[in-house]
């Protein structure tokens, strides 16, 4: 079946530090990959996505590249801000095997200190 | 952009009562809606998938008689937690996708915090 594994948190960084949150996946088909962000007390917001191998998703300074050879979709940001503090979820969807359903990773709590 | 409205944002109820949570797509027709449950500091667990006009498909281990899902129109799905107990306290999130979208659901509600006393 499909699964997503994320780097364990929590992650604590100082403002302007470099961020990497690792994500690897297992899928039987050709999944689309996503990063979602959840701010305290809120639902999920799509941060970025990639639908095929070697695609790079980017948004608000965050980037992630779909690496089929390593089955990875690591999230990066060159300089984090306090406002980036949130929980980040890696997810996949495989329309061939699971339709529009999303499989989520465990989530990684990020705290950015001023 | 597409918006999903979830209501209420939080609710406190007494044990044994039922609670209804609404999920509305505001500017698109949601052919499929998903209901998730999130425990503190954990990931989202898919409870069920509902398609407009048909019965919901529940994930293994989710009691369909306890978590009633109705998707009566293309813009509204409801989740009713029947005879709620303290262990049902959780954060419930809905997600919706429309027929014109060729990809996975991108639109989430802001969630409902349910506390059963």
Q: Once rounded to an integer, what is the mean pLDDT over residues A44-62? A: 94
Looking at the predicted structure, is the pLDDT value of residue A3 above 60?
yes
Residue B99 pLDDT: 59
Among candidates A44, A101, A109 on the partner chain, residue whose Cβ is nearest the Cβ of B108: A44
Alpha-carbon gap: B8 to the closest alpha carbon of chain A (Å): 12
Residue of A9, A43, A55, A104 to mutate, testing the B interface (most B Cβ within 10 Å of its Cβ): A43
Q: Once rounded to an integer, what is the mean pLDDT over residues B76-94? A: 95
| Partner-chain contact A44 B44, CB within 8 Å | yes
Residue A98 pLDDT: 61
Residue corresponding to tokens 């809120």: A42
Q: Once rounded to an integer, what is the mean pLDDT over residues A84-102? A: 83
Question: CA A68 to CA A50: how far, in whole Å?
Answer: 11
Residue A111 pLDDT: 96
B95 touching chain A per CB within 8 A:
yes
B41 sits in the region (left: phi over 0; alpha: psi -120 to 50; else beta) called left
Looking at the predicted structure, is the pLDDT value of residue B105 above 60?
no
A105 touching chain B per CB within 8 A:
yes
| Contacts across the A-B interface (CB distance below 8 Å) | 55
Q: Once rounded to an integer, what is the mean pLDDT over residues B73-85? A: 94
Looking at the predicted structure, is the pLDDT value of residue A99 above 80?
no
Looking at the predicted structure, is the pLDDT value of residue B109 above 70?
yes
B49 touching chain A per CB within 8 A:
yes
Residue B63 pLDDT: 94
Looking at the predicted structure, is the pLDDT value of residue B101 above 90?
no
- Residue A32: how many other CB atoms lie within 10 Å: 21
Looking at the predicted structure, is the pLDDT value of residue B104 above 60?
no
Residue A23 pLDDT: 97
Residue corresponding to tokens 């979208």: B101
Q: Residues A24-51: pLDDT tens digits?
A: 999 987 899 999 999 887 888 999 999 9
Q: Which residues in A lie closer than 8 A to residue B43 (C-beta atoms)?
A: 89, 104-107
Alpha-carbon gap: B107 to the closest alpha carbon of chain A (Å): 7
Question: CA A82 to CA B11: how far, in whole Å?
Answer: 30
| Partner-chain contact B43 A51, CB within 8 Å | no
Looking at the predicted structure, is the pLDDT value of residue A77 above 90?
yes
pLDDT band at B37 (very low <50, low <70, confident <90, very high): very high
CB B77 within 8 A of CB B23: yes
pLDDT band at A55 (very low <50, low <70, confident <90, very high): very high
pLDDT band at B102 (very low <50, low <70, confident <90, very high): low
Residue B43 pLDDT: 82
Question: CA B57 to CA B49: how far, in whole Å?
Answer: 5
Average pLDDT, chain B: 89
Alpha-carbon gap: A66 to the closest alpha carbon of chain B (Å): 16
Residue B67 pLDDT: 97
Among candidates B41, B46, B113 on the partner chain, residue whose Cβ is nearest the Cβ of A101: B46
B51 touching chain A per CB within 8 A:
no
């Amino acid at each position: 079946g499909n699964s997503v594994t994320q780097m364990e948190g929590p992650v604590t960084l100082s403002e302007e530090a470099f961020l990497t949150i690792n994500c690897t996946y297992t899928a039987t088909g050709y999944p689309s990959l996503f990063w979602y962000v959840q701010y305290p007390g809120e639902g999920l917001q799509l941060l970025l996505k990639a639908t095929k191998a070697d695609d790079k998703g980017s948004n608000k300074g965050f980037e992630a590249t779909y690496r089929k050879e390593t089955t990875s979709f690591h999230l990066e940001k060159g300089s984090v801000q306090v406002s980036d503090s949130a929980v980040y979820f890696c997810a996949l969807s495989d329309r061939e095997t699971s339709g529009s359903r999303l499989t989520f990773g465990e989530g990684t709590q990020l705290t950015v200190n001023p | 952009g597409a918006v999903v409205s979830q209501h209420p944002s939080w609710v406190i109820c007494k044990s044994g009562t039922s609670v209804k949570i609404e999920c509305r797509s505001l500017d698109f027709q949601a052919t499929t809606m998903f209901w998730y449950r999130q425990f503190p500091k954990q990931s989202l667990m898919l409870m069920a998938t509902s398609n407009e006009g048909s019965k919901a498909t529940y994930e293994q281990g989710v009691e369909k008689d306890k978590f009633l899902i109705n998707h009566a129109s293309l813009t509204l799905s409801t989740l009713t937690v029947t005879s709620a107990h303290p262990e049902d306290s959780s954060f419930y999130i809905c997600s919706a996708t429309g027929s014109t979208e060729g990809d996975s659901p991108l639109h989430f509600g802001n969630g409902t915090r349910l506390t059963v006393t």
